[in-house]
Amino acid sequence: MSARGRKRIAIVGGGKRAITLGRMLLGERDRAELVAIAEPRPDRREDCSRAFDLGPDRYYRDHRDLLGRCPDLDGVLVATSVPTHAEVACDCMEKGLAVYLEKPIAGTIEGARRIVEVAQHTGARIQVGFNLRYAPFFEKIHDLAVSGALGRVLSINWSEGITVRMWADDYCRSHSYNSRAVTGNLLLEKSCHDIDMMNWLLDSRCARVASFGSRAYFLPRPEVPPRCSPACPEHEDCLFYAPTPERRGRVLPEESNVCVFHCGSDLVDRQTAIFEYEDGTVADLHVLPLWTPGGRLVHICGTRASLTAVYGENRISVRDLRTGVETVYHPTETEAGHGGGDERCLRAFLDFIDDPVARPRAGVREGFESVLMGCAADIAARERRVVELAPLR
């Protein structure tokens, strides 16, 4: 490892998120350098080669190849598919490397628990990429909640909306993203951020979970063809019509014109979860496909004031319950990823490599709680029961 100077960082994964992380790392050239990428898929290695000026000898077949042949690393950014997170993160920690692990940290409670255990016995530095903790908008909500300005928080109502195009392409058409086998359950994959945000605001553990959700609308329809085309009788009015084969984000050309009703996805197409915390606070989380313009909507009921936050409008409103006076906040806006949280989250990881006392805002314990709650919500919805979390911890 480099004792001083720029830190040598590798990325495991070559998809969209991995490239985003790599580009942010290039913006920290004075502190760190991207030295290697491990990615088994040739098409993704090609994507990375277009994004980064790395020689062909800097690409590795997988994380084991990387760990075996790339010496003197200081840290790794893990941005692989969720089912591989536990194996990759644990192998990297066993090598003594600092690990930045994308969220969710695993798709199962068992996988998340394994990561926690390996982190404990190796003492490795690991940060979870809950970047909304670093976004000014959500920092302000957190500050208001924990400062006492709202009084005691009694309940939270939290919604995340998914735009039409993101739903159609990522969660319906893309075979790398549209099934439980690849992403786990939808609420955990899409809204682990939001679960973590509620945990951060409350500083209490969740005790039990109830949830309802299903795939009841985006099902095969015999009256429409399997691919978008002018021959479809509903193409003129269809929100999801995309007849041209092309690369769009995660969607490959051969997937891009698949009809969303014939895509084969087994993810739910709507879900609500209710969380009761150990301190009595109740929170409900709604995952809402087909919401425009997308984003997050938050309502917090406190004993002194209520809060309404609209992420897409950069607006936080606090209304005093006694006087009715409304105070409106517009936190610092930025065009950077996740409302400015991406870059600050990555810088926190580099700080953590430099100084183990500079602990990040989210580590494996926070990552575990998010996975636990997301998986419990999935169990509750599928088995139609309230799930107690104490036995699962």
pLDDT tens, position by position, 130-176: 999 999 999 999 999 999 999 999 999 999 999 999 999 999 999 98
pLDDT given at position 210: 98
Q: Indicate if the pLDDT at residue 256 is higher than 90.
A: yes
Q: Which CATH superfamily is domain 7-132+341-362 in?
A: NAD(P)-binding Rossmann-like Domain (3.40.50.720)
Q: How far is CA 204 from CA 59, 196, 283, 347, 370, in A?
A: 43, 11, 12, 27, 12
What is the three-class DSSP state of 340? helix
Q: Where does residue 17 fall: left (phi above 0), alpha (psi -120 to 50 degrees), or beta otherwise?
A: alpha
Q: Indicate if the pLDDT at residue 4 is higher than 70.
A: no
CA 312/CA 295 separation, integer angstroms: 6
136 upstream amide cis, omega within 30 of 0: no
Output the six-digit token pair for 390: 């104490």
- For the chain, give the mean pLDDT: 95
pLDDT given at position 1: 45
Is-same-fold flag (7-132+341-362; 134-337+371-392)?
no
CA 253/CA 133 separation, integer angstroms: 35
Strand partners of residue 274: 210, 284
- Taking domain 134-337+371-392, whether its CATH number is 3.30.360.10 is answered by yes
How many Å is the Cα radius of gyration of the chain? 22
Using the Cα atoms of residue 20, residue 22, residue 28 and residue 31 in order, give the sign of their dihedral: positive
Structural domain boundaries in the chain = 7-132+341-362, 134-337+371-392
User: Nearest Cα to 156, choosing from 296, 295, 42?
Assistant: 296
Q: Which helix (H) or strand (E) holds 92?
A: helix 85-94
Q: Indicate if the pLDDT at residue 301 is higher than 80.
A: yes
Interval 9-52: pLDDT, tens: 999 999 999 999 999 999 999 999 999 999 999 999 999 999 99
pLDDT given at position 182: 87
Interval 364-392: pLDDT, tens: 999 999 999 999 999 999 999 999 999 99
HSE-up of residue 194 (Cα within 13 Å, Cβ side) = 29
Q: What is the pTM of this model?
A: 0.94
